[in-house]
Amino acid sequence: MKINETPIDGLFQLKSENKTRLVTRNRVPGTSVYGEQLISVKGAEYRVWDPYRSKFAAAFLSGMKKIPQIYDKQILYLGTSTGTTPSHFSDIIENGKIFGIEFSPKVMRKFFRLTEQRSNLVPILADARRPEEYSSFIFEVDMIYQDVAQPDQATIFGRNAQEFLKSGGEGIIAIKSQSIDVSLEPKEVFKNQIEVLESVFGLKVIESSSIDDFEKKHAVIIVKKP
């Protein structure tokens, strides 16, 4: 087995048996978060990052080139669910923090248990559509990551970017077209969401891509705040 670095600091590709898998070095050795495989290489333990369970991993493996760095960043994560992608962010970040927003109390209970083992994850039970609810807990962040299946996905992201994202900060938003308008072709939905991000909230879209190989009718959009 061979570990290769990627352009994203703290993210690696593991090559073995004619397979290449995306991995992060496990912050809590011996512990699996969502049933992912744990692999030891030269005394270090790595967690396999499943692209069918994570839009970030899917975006990377779909060939997106402008994905922001995560290492040592202050990140606002909208829609943590039980913590699949946040746990891998936690592996990568050393001195930064991930402020995780989740609306469902039932889901948050599971995410909270994860944060007890990972001190760089901060759980916040709140509605991502109302950033004023958690503005006293979060200050300026370097990056916003959003995976929220709501009809107003771009608006949710834009309002949080206005409130928390620093000038020059970057964002990643996963768009689920079926949650917005099932009557339109996904490409049209994605185009409309980009228009909202740019014209309404003044964000600059620097890359967008379908991730259909892993999630049908989904796209990932990367933005920057001027």
Confidence at residue 14, expressed as pLDDT on a 0 to 100 scale: 95
Confidence at residue 16, expressed as pLDDT on a 0 to 100 scale: 83
For residues 151 and 216, membership in a common domain is answered with: yes
For residues 137 and 63, membership in a common domain is answered with: yes
pLDDT band at 18 (very low <50, low <70, confident <90, very high): confident
Mean pLDDT, range 39-60, rounded to an integer: 96
Rounded Cα–Cα distance for residues 223 and 226 (Å): 10
Confidence at residue 135, expressed as pLDDT on a 0 to 100 scale: 95
Q: What is the 3-state secondary structure (H, E, C) of 98-113?
A: EEEEECCHHHHHHHHH
Contacts of 82 (CB under 8 A, 6+ apart): 34, 107, 110, 111, 114
For residues 151 and 136, membership in a common domain is answered with: yes
Q: pLDDT tens across 60-93, in order? A: 999 999 999 999 999 999 999 999 999 999 999 9
Rounded Cα–Cα distance for residues 124 and 30 (Å): 26
Mean pLDDT, range 114-127, rounded to an integer: 96
For residues 220 and 165, membership in a common domain is answered with: yes
Domain membership of residue 74 as a residue range = 55-224
Mean pLDDT, range 194-209, rounded to an integer: 97
